[in-house]
Structure 1
Amino acid sequence: MTQEMEATRTDRDALMTTELVPEQILPKVLGTFGLTATYVFIICWITGSSIMAGGGWTAIPMWILGIVTFLVPAGLAVAELGNLWPGQGGVYIWAFRTMGDKMAFLGGYLSWVPVVLNTASSPAIVLQLLLLAFHAELGLTLSIIIQLVILWTVVGLALAKLAANQKIMNVVFIVYIALTLTIFVSAVIYAVGNGSAQPFTWHDALVPNFVGAGFLYGTVLLYLVGVETPFNMGAEFLSVKRSATKMIAYGSAALILIYLLTTIGTMMVLPVAEINAVTGVIGNLGVSGFPGLMEVAAVVLAVIVFVAMTTYQVAYSRLIFVSGLERHLPRIFTHLNPRTRNPVTAILVQGVLSSLILVGLYSQSSMANVTIYLQGGLSVVWLISGFFFFIPLVIARKKYADRYAGEDFWRIPGGMVAVYAVAAIGVVATCAGIYYSFASPWIPGMAPSLWMTWVGSIAAGMFVLGAIVYFFGRRAATKLTKEDSLAHLAVLDLTKPETTSQEAV
């Protein structure tokens, strides 16, 4: 009986290809500071503060509610799962180990799709910030062309070595914090002399208003999702054990600071009717700051969003690479550039898909509206992926009880009671976020039916794409044996692995 149990455990714990191969061929370059910067760039989109500020002071309790009910449970869940299975692929591995092969593909796909939607909408954010800085306007055709140029410049930068991109991210991360403090301090100085543009009441600032502003909860969760994404690069961490929980703690503190200070700053300076849903967080400096500050800040934020887009391309391309390793996609998706060790095909595919969506949708409506539509659809799809780390958390505790008893890795304190609480709160919050993202327009005055049509169509289109990818990708990949599908990776030179000079703390 004991021998049978040992055999079962051996089969259960057999290494997946994605847990074995990336460890041998990818350089370990991500330390604690770099991971914290990556975490913030993936999750924190400061332009979300523009939308939140448009909801008035009730945005503050919505932020806090989203942090407590979603960010904290998600952070705890992925910290435990990431320490239990620290390989390349993150949510893909967690779902495979707890829910099986098909669920692993679905979880990985739903976690990957946001890069396509976000990369389709983010060039418009960069462009609108630059137009604000230079007080310019563009026609539709020219704006689409410039957005495509921005997108493919991002793709080109993402093809560079991860270590090089990481140095840029680290510097721009400091600039991000400085910009946040500039917005907030300028707003406080303005409010001291002129009063708050949006009258403050304790009731609005403390009590969430789901009746009048329920859409804000869905918006909050959109701007808090992505906690699991850095684990897509698990094999590239210098040390998961040393850095994973610190990344989540430090990164969460930074993004909470950025969101709350920029939302409050915008509300103190601009009335609701004057807040642009995309550029309002910077536009308020035109009122509170000295001449020229808004223009400089708009260019700075455009650079920050550009770097964040690059971070997305890098982090999410690893999920396509993993799907290729696990033979859900053809071998071409496992191709690595021998010099940079980046999955070239994966990054290029992401760029092509985002370009098609960008051209197709931005030719149908205004730039500002489509940006918000894409973010709404992104919110629905991305939130669904949360089930693939909340549910595996509970399954892992039961299915791998022997590992919890015999191994030393970080886990949620408090035993199964705490685990059930984290999973339950996270699942309920995720369901509420999906509902409010779909049913409540994020654009003031828009008919709910029009909003649901756009958001529902975008989300449905992503699921149809997933079904096509699964069917044809699996069919093509299984024509090769596992050995043949990996043979091309054996030629990579591993004699000079690239690492950072020291571990950031």
Structure 2
Amino acid sequence: MALDISTPNLAPAAAESSKLKKHFGRFDILFFLICTIVGVDTIASVAASGGEAFTWMVVLAVVFFVPQALLFAELGSTFPQEGGPYIWTRMAFGHLAGAINNFLYWVTNPVWLGGTLASAAAYALQVFFHAGKDWPTVMIGGYAFPWAFYVITIPFIWVAVLAAVLSFRVGKWITTVGAFARFLLLGVFVVTVIVYGVEHGVHGLGAGSFTPSYAGFVALVGVLLFNYVGFELPNSAGEEMTNAKRDVPFAILRSAAFSFVLYAVPILGILLVIPVDKVTNLGGFVDAIQTTFSVFGGASGTVGAAAAVLFVACVLTSGVTWIMGSDRSLAVSGYDGAAPRFFGVIDAKLGTPVRVNIFSGIVSTVVLVLATTITEGNAYKFFGAVLGVTISTTLISYLLIFPSLWKLRRSHPDVERPFRMPWMRGLTVVLMLLLAFTVVQLMAPGAFYDWFGADFRPDGWKASEAGLYLLTELVPVVAFIVIGVIFWALGTKTRRENRALAQELDDAAAGVGVAASAEPGGPTPA
């Protein structure tokens, strides 16, 4: 019988996977997922579209959020190997597709950490600890160097990296704290909105504002789908789970319900408190906190500062969870032959991919500095451009992850499936069509309708800059694909080592079978 080499358990992989430790239980996965999916940095980006944002959020929860939760409940419980999304794609479509897709999947996270998450944290601290004033700068050769901004954002990045470096036995508690920070922040915000509404009245939204429109869908679909992905991330640590077959479906289905509520309620709160034309992508949620917390009177400054700290904890742990998961996938691809072997190393003491973690921190820091410089410190322009690249690159990676379930049902029909996705073919087609449409809109906002029109143009960008925006979205994605191909080429030696050992084990197994058949009482040769 031929040896199954569909899992990364040969040659270099055997040495690395043996360092992994099982610390990931049922409720750890649940809280990890809540921390992964509920990103407070994008809540305002949804609310900025007004009442119909809530309508489209509900619609996409039905046609996208729930179906992909079901899809990953099957994949995650059926194929619980370390490196989850990379392994599924590689098993379904080969090492080259796995290498390209996995680089796209990984690179979005250091870009996101050094871009939108760091700037969102800095904005919250600016509002509540610096009276909303611009951060001080120093002139260097005619350039206003934002040293205070960097003093906040660069340590923010490296604290996240350090959290990812820690043993999962410790690191999982950081993500659990992040989940409870969300419960506390969003819970207090909702209660405060109610009190504010009673005392001051609310902005109010007429029933007509919730009517969905095509233009609203085009403007919203990217950020809504981005908010709704992430169910696969815990499976990047699949071999560190205590019982993936039992726990993955449990955690995914429950986290889906929690996450929807944690998004829907504060978005509705923002819409009730702040006029839509005052909501910005970068600071809408923080501004809503500042407005509603005025109900605390003289204590509003102290309470607001506490809320700012909670907000920073939420955005920080969003970055931590995604770095933890995606870095593991890149490390697995390194020892499986789809990335440089250098990255495919698990630290023996910590059980974490320290080399990839450090690499993520370096990339995040470079992104932060480059994007800040290119946008000349325009926070809104910076936020919109980086968020667009992050969302488009992330969603492109799912164009191969989603159909891997369909392919693996055909190629591995005999593998036990603790959970099966209902209506798999039809729902997968719907997911793919939504993804494809969304990627086009992210690259060219308003395509097929009003390309780069005012209703779709990101904050800080002018109508005359449509070509520049397209380049900022397209060039990075093309570059990431090229790097993925290079990573695949650099993994050639590792793939050969894996195949060679697989052949040796195959030959050894065949020899044992022949010897056994020759013994008295042994099996009769065919």
Q: TM-score range by the shorter chain?
A: 0.7 to 0.9
Matches within 5 A, 1:425-436: 425-436=430-441
1:58 is paired with a residue whose SS is helix
Matches within 5 A, 1:366-381: 366-381=378-393
| CA-CA distance at 1:452 after TM superposition | 6.2
Q: Could you say which residue in structure 2 is the equivalent of 1:27?
A: 21
- Deviation sequence 1:169-188 (CA, Å, 0-9, x none): 21331221121111112112
Q: 1:378, 1:459 within 8 Å by CA — same for their partners in 2? A: no
Q: Could you say which residue in structure 1 is the equivalent of 2:449?
A: none
- Deviation sequence 1:154-196 (CA, Å, 0-9, x none): 2223211111121222133122112111111211222234333
Out of 249, 252, 257, the position equivalent to 2:256 is 252
Q: Could you say which residue in structure 1 is the equivalent of 2:421?
A: 412
Q: Could you say which residue in structure 1 is the equivalent of 2:337?
A: 327
2:418 is paired with a residue whose SS is coil
Name the CA distance, whole Å, in 1 between partners of 2:250 and 2:123: 35
Q: Which amino acid aligns with 1:460?
A: V
Q: Could you say which residue in structure 1 is the equivalent of 2:9?
A: 17
Q: Could you say which residue in structure 2 is the equivalent of 1:355?
A: 365
User: CA 1:450 to 1:226, structure 2 compared with 1: closer, same or farther past 3 Å?
Assistant: farther
> Does residue 397 of structure 1 match 2:412?
no
| CA-CA distance at 1:116 after TM superposition | 2.2
| CA-CA distance at 1:445 after TM superposition | 7.6
- Deviation sequence 1:394-442 (CA, Å, 0-9, x none): 2222222333xxx3521113xxxx0112101111111222133233246
User: CA 1:352 to 1:265, structure 2 compared with 1: closer, same or farther past 3 Å?
Assistant: same
Q: 2:384, 2:459 within 8 Å by CA — same for their partners in 1? A: no
Ranges of 4+ aligned residues in structure 1 off by more than 6 Å: 483-486
> Does residue 295 of structure 1 match 2:289?
no
Q: Could you say which residue in structure 2 is the equivalent of 1:494?
A: none
Cα RMSD (Å) of the superposition?
A: 2.6
> Does residue 190 of structure 1 match 2:196?
yes
Matches within 5 A, 1:147-186: 147-186=153-192
Matches within 5 A, 1:71-220: 71-121=65-115, 122-134=117-129, 135=131, 136-138=133-135, 139=137, 140-142=145-147, 143-197=149-203, 199-205=204-210, 207-212=211-216, 214-220=218-224
Gapped runs of 5+ residues in structure 1?
1-6, 487-505
Name the CA distance, whole Å, in 2 between partners of 1:217 and 1:457: 20
Q: Could you say which residue in structure 2 is the equivalent of 1:314?
A: 324
Q: Could you say which residue in structure 2 is the equivalent of 1:384?
A: 396
Q: 1:95, 1:392 within 8 Å by CA — same for their partners in 2? A: yes
Identity %: 21
- Deviation sequence 1:263-290 (CA, Å, 0-9, x none): 1111111112332322321322322221
Task: Give the TM-score, by structure 1 length.
Answer: 0.86
Q: 2:73, 2:419 within 8 Å by CA — same for their partners in 1? A: yes
| CA-CA distance at 1:212 after TM superposition | 4.7
Out of 215, 229, 240, the position equivalent to 1:225 is 229
Q: 1:110, 1:382 within 8 Å by CA — same for their partners in 2? A: yes
Name the CA distance, whole Å, in 2 between partners of 1:421 and 1:22: 38
| CA-CA distance at 1:453 after TM superposition | 3.2
2:193 is paired with a residue whose SS is helix
Task: Give the TM-score, by structure 2 length.
Answer: 0.83
- Deviation sequence 1:132-169 (CA, Å, 0-9, x none): 11124313521134322221222223211111121222
Name the CA distance, whole Å, in 1 between partners of 2:284 and 2:183: 18
| CA-CA distance at 1:384 after TM superposition | 1.2
Name the CA distance, whole Å, in 2 between partners of 1:348 and 1:480: 25
Name the CA distance, whole Å, in 2 between partners of 1:11 and 1:459: 42
Q: 1:46, 1:258 within 8 Å by CA — same for their partners in 2? A: no
| CA-CA distance at 1:295 after TM superposition | 2.5
